[in-house]
């Protein structure tokens, strides 16, 4: 017991030293960077070169892996057509992973920076309660999302088409989502380990990498479990079983002495349901514009990365703002100033090259794979134009949303990414379609 206690104290001391070193390096960069001969993006990044480099690397990896998601999306197009209603559900189901585990990474980042983090797997420890709260909120939100999806599908569906039933949505959402959640949880915790080991700022890498991993594993997981839907009594029995399991898990978290886990569950689920509902509306927008995407099928390859990149940029900004609010480095004001203004500026500086990279990769690889394209130049113009519009919207939501959350006494680590994601899901696909119209791509 003494050894375990000593280990926890050692880890806490390491985290404290890391925080001191981090602050020292930031002060050194603030005075040394202006004298460098090479200044990225004309010096626009200012003293934030180290942070921007970490974020840019994570965003580039996210953009690259999102193309795999895009090709996977195109590969499973037949399955999506086979089950009416599944397509409008996909963006919400994918977004749920990022909305759950992005805030988990943000909370761990704040704990590491504050020196309160320790590697203990006991359910009542800080890490244990965060993991329990994240998994429980993911499962509860999955059931709620399935219910909302059934309502939206029935209301909007063509009367000549039989959409998936509630039991079908519950099985896909809970089972497929839980399988994906275990993978994304492992990646999130791995990022926390790597951040402490290599001196990364977890705020800079969590949003893009968790978003990319969520996109990468969720779609195959959802398609994998479609073999269990529309099976009559078997599907209904599984839906009842999963619903009962989720109810028991939620009651255990609420009733046991897990104050942090209980707070995460109670605060997160309403936000997750709102974000999921808006994601379903994004799915409706996609279904209504399907002819435009089919005309240039490379847009289907681009779409997951486009949405993930815009969301990751907003997530990075939200994570950094929430951590700085906790540490007292950002004060509420009507207009961003100080560190908040610097973080917003860096977000836009990151957006330009990453959207160019995303469009270039989607265009070249998509055409090589036989996908129709409006041309590489047009694709880059569309991605950059739509991406900058989307980045502007998520920057506004990230800043003022963080301040609003703090004003109501809630944890910005738990609400920042879902707020950004909800906004992006509502307008993200629309900004891409608007950019297509601006550049006359139809």
Instruction: Give the rounded percent of residues in the chain with a pLDDT score beyond 90.
Output: 24
Mean residue pLDDT across the chain: 79
Distance CA 311, CA 207 (A): 8
Q: Work out the average pLDDT over 135-139.
A: 94
pLDDT at 176 over 90: yes
* pLDDT tier, 162 (very low <50, low <70, confident <90, very high otherwise): low
pLDDT for 224: 87
Residue 420's nearest CA partner among 268, 291, 316, 303 is: 316
Instruction: Give the rounded percent of residues in the chain with a pLDDT score beyond 70.
Output: 82
pLDDT for 37: 34
Q: Residue 36 — φ and ψ, nearest 5°?
A: -70, 145
> Distance of CA 41 to CAs 28, 49, 52, 244, Å?
20, 10, 11, 54
Q: With left for phi above 0 and alpha for psi between -120 and 50, is residue 238 left, alpha or beta?
A: alpha
* pLDDT tier, 141 (very low <50, low <70, confident <90, very high otherwise): very high
> Distance of CA 29 to CAs 22, 51, 266, 334, 341, Å?
11, 11, 41, 28, 17
pLDDT for 32: 38
pLDDT for 15: 45
DSSP symbols for 184-232: HHHHHHHHHHHHHHHT--HHHHHHHHHHHHHHHHHHHHHHHGGGGSS-T
Q: Work out the average pLDDT over 296-319.
A: 82
Range with the largest mean pLDDT of 72-86, 115-129, 390-404: 390-404
Distance CA 291, CA 229 (A): 28
pLDDT for 45: 43
List pLDDT tens digits, range 229-273: 888 899 999 999 999 999 999 999 988 878 889 999 998 899 889
pLDDT for 147: 93
Range with the largest mean pLDDT of 305-319, 332-346, 347-361: 347-361
* pLDDT tier, 131 (very low <50, low <70, confident <90, very high otherwise): very high
First to last CA, the chain: 67
280: three-class secondary structure by DSSP: helix
Burial of residue 354 (CB within 10 Å: 0-12, 13-18, 19+) is buried
The Cβ of residue 57 has, within 10 Å, a number of other Cβ atoms equal to: 15
The least confident of 43-52, 372-381, 404-413, 428-437 is 43-52
Query: Using a CB cutoff of 8 Å and minimum separation of 24, what contacts does 53-57 make?
Result: 54/200, 54/201, 54/204, 54/205, 55/204, 55/205, 55/208, 55/316, 55/346, 55/350, 56/350, 56/353, 56/354, 57/205
Q: Work out the average pLDDT over 138-165.
A: 82
* pLDDT tier, 132 (very low <50, low <70, confident <90, very high otherwise): very high
Q: Work out the average pLDDT over 298-323.
A: 83
Q: Contact at 8 Å (CB) between 101 and 210?
A: yes
DSSP symbols for 38-87: --GGGGTTGGGHHHHHHHHHHHHHHHHHHHHHHHHHHHTHHHHHHSTTHH
Could you tell me which residue, 271 or 176, shows the higher pLDDT? Answer: 176
pLDDT for 138: 94
pLDDT for 195: 77
Could you tell me which residue, 171 or 419, shows the higher pLDDT? Answer: 171
Q: Contact at 8 Å (CB) between 127 and 120?
A: yes
Distance CA 302, CA 366 (A): 9
Instruction: Name, in order, each residue with C-beta under 8 angstroms of 82's C-beta and a sequence gap of 6 or more.
Output: none
Q: Residue 163 — φ and ψ, nearest 5°?
A: -80, 170
pLDDT for 68: 78
Q: Work out the average pLDDT over 65-74.
A: 75
Q: Contact at 8 Å (CB) between 121 and 252?
A: no
Q: Contact at 8 Å (CB) between 275 and 421?
A: yes
* pLDDT tier, 223 (very low <50, low <70, confident <90, very high otherwise): confident
Q: Work out the average pLDDT over 140-155.
A: 90
Q: Work out the average pLDDT over 421-432.
A: 75
* pLDDT tier, 173 (very low <50, low <70, confident <90, very high otherwise): very high
């Amino acid at each position: 017991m003494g050894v375990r206690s000593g280990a926890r104290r050692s880890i806490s001391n390491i985290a404290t030293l890391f925080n001191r070193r981090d602050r020292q390096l930031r002060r050194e960069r603030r005075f040394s960077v202006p004298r460098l001969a090479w200044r990225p993006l004309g010096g626009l990044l200012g003293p934030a070169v180290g942070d921007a480099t970490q974020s840019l690397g994570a965003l580039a990896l996210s953009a690259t892996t999102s193309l795999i998601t895009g090709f996977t999306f195109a590969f499973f197009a037949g399955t999506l057509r086979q089950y009416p209603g599944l397509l409008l559900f996909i963006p919400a189901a994918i977004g749920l992973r990022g909305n759950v585990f992005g805030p988990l990474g943000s909370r761990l980042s704040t704990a590491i920076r504050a020196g309160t983090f320790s590697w203990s797997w006991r359910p009542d420890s800080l890490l244990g309660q965060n993991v329990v709260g994240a998994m429980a909120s993911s499962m509860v939100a999955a059931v709620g999302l399935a219910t909302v999806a059934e309502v939206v599908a029935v209301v909007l569906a063509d009367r000549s088409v039989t959409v998936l039933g509630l039991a079908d949505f519950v099985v896909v959402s809970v089972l497929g989502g839980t399988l994906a959640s275990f993978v994304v949880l492992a990646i999130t915790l791995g990022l926390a380990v790597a951040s402490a080991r290599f001196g990364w700022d977890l705020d800079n890498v969590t949003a893009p990498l968790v978003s990319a991993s969520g996109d990468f594993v969720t779609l195959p997981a959802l398609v994998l479990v479609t073999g269990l839907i529309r099976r009559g009594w078997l599907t209904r029995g599984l839906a009842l079983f999963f619903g009962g399991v989720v109810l028991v898990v939620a009651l255990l978290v609420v009733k046991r002495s897990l104050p942090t886990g209980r707070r995460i569950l109670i605060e997160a689920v309403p936000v997750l349901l709102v974000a999921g509902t808006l994601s379903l509306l994004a799915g409706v927008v996609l279904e209504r514009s399907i002819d435009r995407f089919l005309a240039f099928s490379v847009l289907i390859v681009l779409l997951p990365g486009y949405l993930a990149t815009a969301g990751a940029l907003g997530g990075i900004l939200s994570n950094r703002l929430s951590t700085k609010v906790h540490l007292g480095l950002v004060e509420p004001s009507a207009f961003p100033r100080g560190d908040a203004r610097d973080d917003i500026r860096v977000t836009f500086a990151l957006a330009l090259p990453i959207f160019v990279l995303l469009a270039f990769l989607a265009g070249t690889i998509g055409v090589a794979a036989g996908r129709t394209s409006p041309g590489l130049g047009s694709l880059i113009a569309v991605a950059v134009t739509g991406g900058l519009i989307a980045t502007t919207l998520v920057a506004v939501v990230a800043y003022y949303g963080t301040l609003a959350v703090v004003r109501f006494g809630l944890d910005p680590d738990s609400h920042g990414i879902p707020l950004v994601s909800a906004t992006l899901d509502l307008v993200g696909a629309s900004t891409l379609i608007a950019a297509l119209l601006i550049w006359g791509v139809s």
